[in-house]
């Protein structure tokens, strides 16, 4: 009886030990490239390359083991290398564009797509746009290249990125926001947003924009994007205006009740950089973006466009870059501390 009991209690240890060993061997094989997709039709695993945005220049952020059957397999013409492929994540239009040289309709007449279509509504071939995967919602492309084949699938942004920020640059499209002294709010917010994306990316944070300078989505579309990417925080960019005196100056942040401390960190990072007046943090419950998302939201007011000195400052690339760097540092700290 005693012996049997001893064996029984040892059994789970043996099982978990064997499992651990199997996983360890699998990871070792994948990281050394031993496992390759050489046998058609069998479960295949391989090295993983993360392809970000529209370029393949930044591949292999980390290596993982994947079942290739969960990807859509796109055959590639002879001689197409990893560097020839461009993948565009057009999340605002809920599609992924894949540009591959030599991929014409006639090529795909004899070389078929295969594999998994999860989250992919349909596939379209377009001379200009390349292969267009229309998605069922907001998903990010994850791809693996292999000579002769591209494996791609649409996944939740959260499955790919640990830290995500949504930038909501004020105005865009027909809506130019405020303007004074020949300087437009729209230009300030979108230029600063571009610098902010660069700074956040350098800190390992994935950035999504609610819209482009040309295209202004509806509130519903912005809500869909925010829900789809599930960001750690949202940062709004605007300028203030006081057309009556034109002398009001300073920077401030509007946030949701309960987030004042973090908003203050963000604001003081900005004013420490700029040396401008700190107008403090105020709270807002349900206006604009505050009304369509529960996510932590910080609406940064970069300065008064109606004041000539501040308008000219905000219009300069130096200020935009410096403000972006200061904000990105604070954002990174705030997210990491959470």
Chain residues binding Zn ion by CB under 5 A are 170, 177, 238
Measured CA to CA, the distance from residue 12 to residue 140 in angstroms comes to 39
Taking the complex as a whole, the smallest distance from the CB of residue 265 to Zn ion amounts, in Å, to 23
SS3 195: helix
Angle between helix axes 260-274 and 317-337 (nearest 10 degrees) is 150
Nearest CB to Zn ion, comparing residues 207 and 305? 305
Residue with tokens 């800190």: 203
Q: Are residues 134 and 94 in contact, defined by beta-carbon separation less than 8 angstroms? A: yes
Nearest CB to Zn ion, comparing residues 206 and 238? 238
Nearest CB to Zn ion, comparing residues 262 and 301? 301
The CB density around residue 155, as the number of other CB atoms within 10 Å, is 14
Taking the complex as a whole, the smallest distance from the CB of residue 171 to Zn ion amounts, in Å, to 6
Taking the complex as a whole, the smallest distance from the CB of residue 282 to Zn ion amounts, in Å, to 15
End-to-end CA gap in the chain = 52
Nearest CB to Zn ion, comparing residues 46 and 236? 236
Q: Which is nearest to 213 in space by CA: 228, 229, 231, 191?
A: 191
Taking the complex as a whole, the smallest distance from the CB of residue 170 to Zn ion amounts, in Å, to 4
SS3 275: coil
> Which residues 6+ apart lie within 8 Å of 101 measured at CB?
77, 80, 84
- The DSSP secondary-structure symbol of 42 reads S
Taking the complex as a whole, the smallest distance from the CB of residue 41 to Zn ion amounts, in Å, to 57
Measured CA to CA, the distance from residue 66 to residue 151 in angstroms comes to 11
CA atoms within 13 A on the CB side of 17: 5
Taking the complex as a whole, the smallest distance from the CB of residue 168 to Zn ion amounts, in Å, to 10
Nearest CB to Zn ion, comparing residues 170 and 172? 170
Taking the complex as a whole, the smallest distance from the CB of residue 238 to Zn ion amounts, in Å, to 4
Nearest CB to Zn ion, comparing residues 145 and 190? 190
Nearest CB to Zn ion, comparing residues 35 and 292? 292
- The DSSP secondary-structure symbol of 204 reads T
Rg (CA), the chain: 25
Taking the complex as a whole, the smallest distance from the CB of residue 301 to Zn ion amounts, in Å, to 8
Element (H, E) at 179: strand 179-180
Nearest CB to Zn ion, comparing residues 238 and 265? 238
Residue 241 tokens, joined: 């205006």
């Amino acid at each position: 009886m005693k012996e049997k009991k001893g064996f029984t209690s040892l059994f789970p240890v043996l099982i978990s030990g064997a499992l651990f060993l199997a996983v360890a061997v699998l990871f070792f094989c994948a990281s050394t490239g031993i496992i390759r997709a050489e046998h058609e039709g069998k479960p295949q695993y391989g090295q993983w390359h993360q392809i970000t945005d529209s370029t393949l220049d930044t591949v292999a952020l980390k290596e993982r083991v994947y079942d290739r059957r969960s990807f859509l397999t796109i055959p590639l013409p002879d001689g197409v290398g990893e560097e020839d492929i461009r993948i565009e994540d057009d999340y605002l239009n809920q599609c992924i564009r894949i540009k591959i040289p030599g991929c014409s309709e006639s090529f795909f007449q004899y070389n078929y797509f295969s594999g998994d279509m999860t989250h992919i509504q349909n596939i379209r071939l377009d001379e200009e746009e390349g292969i267009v995967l229309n998605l069922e919602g907001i998903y990010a492309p994850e791809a693996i290249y292999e000579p002769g084949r591209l494996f791609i699938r649409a996944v939740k942004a959260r499955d790919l990125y640990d830290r995500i920020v949504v930038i909501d640059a004020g105005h865009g499209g027909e809506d130019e926001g405020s303007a004074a002294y020949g300087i437009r709010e729209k230009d300030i917010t979108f230029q600063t947003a571009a610098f902010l994306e660069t700074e956040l990316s350098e800190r390992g944070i994935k950035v999504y924009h609610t819209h482009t300078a040309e295209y202004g989505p509806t509130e519903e579309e912005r809500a869909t994007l925010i829900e789809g990417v599930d960001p750690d925080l949202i940062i709004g960019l605007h300028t203030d205006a006081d057309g009556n005196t034109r002398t009001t100056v300073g920077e401030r942040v509007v946030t949701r009740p309960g987030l004042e401390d973090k908003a203050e960190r963000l604001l003081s990072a900005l004013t420490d950089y700029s040396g401008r007046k700190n107008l403090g943090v105020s709270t807002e419950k349900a206006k604009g973006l505050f009304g369509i998302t529960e996510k932590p939201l910080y609406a940064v007011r970069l300065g008064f466009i109606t004041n000539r000195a501040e308008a000219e400052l905000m219009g300069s690339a130096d200020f935009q870059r410096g403000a972006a760097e200061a904000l990105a540092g604070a954002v990174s700290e705030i997210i990491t501390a959470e």
